[in-house]
Amino acid sequence: MPAKKEYLTTKGQRALKITAGLIGGYFLAVSFQMVIGVLIPYRTEVILTGAFSVFILWVAFMVIAFLARNGWVIWGIYLFSTSAFAGIIYLFR
């Protein structure tokens, strides 16, 4: 039985969600891990752990991107969060 048309997204929204999950999610995961690396004094351990945890976070952010109804909103959240993390990195470095 096919899905109702009201629950399906348009091609543009689908493209926004895919790019937000792939590109925006990666930048958000890496910037989050860099914030942790800046704030915690044990940098070697954080960098080694971050090499693996970035991919786990990236997958989580990809899933979150597809749970949103609007692709522009998720792009805005990801860009704002990445910018906030970049500001924290700049201030505490």
Whole-model pTM above 0.75? yes
31: number of Cβ within 10 Å: 21
Higher pLDDT, 27 or 44: 27
Helices (H), ranges, the chain? 11-19, 25-39, 43-67, 71-92
Give yes or no for residue 7 having a pLDDT over 70.
no
The reported pLDDT for the residue numbered 81 is 97
